Structure formats: structure tokens, C-alpha cells
Amino acid sequence: SRILAVRGSPLPGKPPAGAVLVFHDVTDLRRLERMRQDFVANASHELKTPLASIKAYAETLLDWALEDPAVNRRFVERIDEQADRLDSLIHDMLSLARLEANQDVFRHDPLGLAAVLGRCVEAHRDRAESGDLTLEFDVDALDAGATILADEEAVRQIFDNLIDNAIKYTPPGGRVGVVGSASAAEIVVAVSDTGLGIPREEQARIFERFYRVDKARSRELGGTGLGLAIVKHLVSSLQGRVEVTSRLGAGSTFTVRLPRAQAPAPSPTSTAAEA
């Protein structure tokens, strides 16, 4: 919708000397404002849930359970788990806020992607193996010279989130794979799993903040519902794209495409100087 304002200076009895028509497209502003309100509402709800548990356990301990040593430890453990939940939520909310405040994900030196991906994968190996998952890593098609212009921390965050999800949503005995390849223009990394899969009608929505296919399961696995929103934000800040293909019960593949840093063309003068 558009609003139309007419500004003139009609003095009583005199025709206006001139008029300025101001068109503002408020659709985007309204949409942004609604997103902000939804975010605050969702975030408050997400923060309140663990807080309510902590309060309930603490009150029960104070009322009677402190006397019972067997119950004591169990309740304090629950309090500790819920405090960890709050901690991850606040951590992810701050990451998103920082991302929105500045787009500081670029850097001037090219970053070798194969090495960064290797470090990411290795950081998840123990968890994958303790969940009885095979973690495959293949960057043979990603030549060692394939670089992008990005901050290593930003790239780590993208792939940490995707690999973490692949492990979380894949039952024991499954497989998680990270495969990189490159064309002249872009680097393509696919993070795939043989896990639960995502229903077709929800595939577009999982990148929204706090959207989860199964809220209870995500919470139980320590999810915040913000991981993919962070991934999407980071990838588009790097001028890339992320998409998902998935089949329910069979698995999912998240494909990230990032523009390749262009090697500087050798200039004729430097070639002449070297010769």
C-alpha cells in the first residue's frame, strides 16, 4: 500500500503556491516492523520456557525436595540443563543481532575453503561417532587453490550449524557427508545426511527464525531454532545461496554456493618485469 501526502501552503483565501506530492511505500516498513515484533514475541517465549522450568525446580527444592538427597541431585541437574539452554539461546540471538548490525564477514585475503571445511568436520567427528554415524569428507573436487573472500569465523559458523543439524537429525547407523566442489565462478559445498528428512511444505520455512518441524524434538536435542536463520544470513552476506533438498524419512542435503575469489589477472607490466 502507498500513502499519499500533499504538502502545500494554502493561505486562507489564496490558491496554493505549489504542492509537493510525497509517495512512501510503507509495505516494506510494515513488514519489517511485524518481523521485529514477531521476533521479540518468539524470543520472549523461548526464553521464558527454560526460565519457568528453573523456577519450578528451585521452588520444589525449597518447598520439600531439599530434604530428599536422591531428588536433590536430579533436580539440580535439570536446572543446570535449562541454564545451558538459556545460554545457547542468548548466544544465538546475539549472533543474529551482531550479524544484522554489521556485515563484517568479508576479509581481504582469500581463504582456502578445503582447509577450513576439514577443521569443521574434524571438530564434529567425536560427536558423530558417539552417535554411531559415519562422517564422510570429500574435497577432492575442490582444488586446494579454491578460495573465497570471507572471514574464517563466518565460514565456520555456516558449516558448524549445518553439520551439527545433520548429526542431530540423523538416527544411529546413518551417514553424514560433507562434499566440496568448485566451478570457475563458485564453490559448492553439500552437507547431506540420511536422517529424518523435512516435509516438502516446510522446506522453505526452516530458514525462518525459531521455525522447527518438531519443536519438542529440537529442544530435546538442544536446538534453538535459530541455526538456519544464522546460516542463511551469513551466506547471503557473502553473496552466496543456500538451498535444501529433502525427502521425508530418507534424508536431507543442504547445498551452499559461494562466489569464488577471482585470482588477480597477471598484469602485462609485472610479467614484463619478471621476464
Q: Which residues bind ligand ADP (CB under 6 A)?
A: 161, 165-166, 169, 193, 195-196, 198, 206, 211-214, 218, 223-229, 252
Residue whose beta carbon is closest to ligand ADP: 223
Name the minimum Å distance from CB 243 to ligand ADP: 13
Q: What is the DSSP string of the chain?
A: -EEEEEEE---TTS--S-EEEEEEE-HHHHHHHHHHHHHHHHHHHHHHHHHHHHHHHHHHHHHTGGG-HHHHHHHHHHHHHHHHHHHHHHHHHHHHHHHHH--TT--SS-EEHHHHHHHHHHHHHHHHHHTT-EEEEEEEES-TT-EE---HHHHHHHHHHHHHHHHHTS-TT-EEEEEEEE-SSEEEEEEEESS----GGGTTGGGSTT--SSHHHHHHTT--S-HHHHHHHHHHHTT-EEEEEEETTTEEEEEEEEEPPPPPPPPHHHHHHH-
Name the minimum Å distance from CB 180 to ligand ADP: 18
Name the minimum Å distance from CB 124 to ligand ADP: 13
Nearer to ligand ADP, 95 or 161 (CB): 161
Name the minimum Å distance from CB 252 to ligand ADP: 4
Nearer to ligand ADP, 39 or 75 (CB): 39
Nearer to ligand ADP, 180 or 227 (CB): 227
Nearer to ligand ADP, 58 or 190 (CB): 190
